[in-house]
Amino acid sequence: MNSKKVSIVIGSGGIKCAAAIGLVKVLEAEGIPIDLVVGCSGGSMYAALIAAGVTAEAMQERTLFLWTSEIMKDYTSNLKATQDGSLRFNERSGLVDDSVMNERLHAAFDEYRFEGLARPLRLVATDLMRGERVVLEKGSLFDAVRASLAIPLIFPPWEVNGQLLVDGAAVDPLPVDVAIQEGAEVIIAMGFMLSNRGRMRSMTAVQQQLNNIYMNNLLKATYAFYNLAHHAEIFPILPDFEEPLGMFDTDKLPDIIARGEAAARAELPRIVRLLEA
């Protein structure tokens, strides 16, 4: 169809990132080649699965396996313990005991390394100590996905190559820049805005709302710059979600995927037109 290098970028967005399954379904059905996959945070998980060539059905199954409330082991008790001072926090801490999450991510990703994936993959994390973007492109996929998913305060950071890494969304929630850096000419970027909260009944809720404000504005600011800096085309795909989704609303998975598919299909004629030109 074309000789242009096509990259898909899946941004942060928790369970909403499953919309990427819908995007890939559409691209694959249309025979649009994917030359590079980039992911961040929740998007890293799907980027990794897409790069590994996992089918849409299998991605859906793995979502149901990975995203259950058990991965939040001890969150509530640890939160209380930090508030009464019985649990001390440092740069390696998280409110969650990550043993369940690690076990599941091991099961999902241990068979893969970056080297040997069906498609080239780049995952974005944040160096907690330096505050810098880190692009992971070699070695264990488990390590990279675990690091990229490490929501600060919630999940403990993850050390990779001597760097203490947290969620890539802290620096680059929709890492279009990585695709540009890798020479992508056509970038299909699926991003997610975080929902505003209704009423806030706790300090944690206010903190989370502030975090959402920071993140949404970081996404817009970085996207605005990359959009103008890129010499070719970026197709932003922003699935609509009528209601805020909870972290573990996996019962809404079919709807999330359908929304991703619909948003991708709306852009499809323009993507095809450009690739055929």
Partner 1 sequence: METSVEMVGSVAVVAVSGSIDALTAPELAAAINQQIEEGHTNLVADLAGVEYTSSAGLRVLLGAVKETRSRGGDLRLAGIRPDVKKVLDLSGFTSILKHYPDRGSAVDSYGG
Residues that bind partner 1 (CB under 8 A): 191, 219-221, 223-224, 227-228, 230, 232-236, 238, 266, 270, 273-274, 277
Least distance to partner 1 from the beta carbon of 218, Å? 12
Least distance to partner 1 from the beta carbon of 45, Å? 23
Of 1 and 200, the one with the shorter C-beta distance to partner 1 is 1
Tracing tokens 């990279």 back to the chain, one arrives at: 144
Of 97 and 182, the one with the shorter C-beta distance to partner 1 is 182
- CA-nearest of 43, 4, 23 to 268 is 23
Least distance to partner 1 from the beta carbon of 16, Å? 16
Half-sphere exposure of 64 (CA within 13 A, CB side): 10
Decide: residue 236, CB within 10 A, 0-12 exposed, 13-18 middle, 19+ buried.
middle
Of 101 and 234, the one with the shorter C-beta distance to partner 1 is 234
Least distance to partner 1 from the beta carbon of 267, Å? 8
Of 201 and 273, the one with the shorter C-beta distance to partner 1 is 273
| DSSP code of residue 84 | T
Number of helical (H) and strand (E) elements in the chain, helices listed first:
9, 8
Least distance to partner 1 from the beta carbon of 225, Å? 8
Tracing tokens 């959402």 back to the chain, one arrives at: 212
Of 52 and 178, the one with the shorter C-beta distance to partner 1 is 178
H or E element at residue 229: helix 203-229
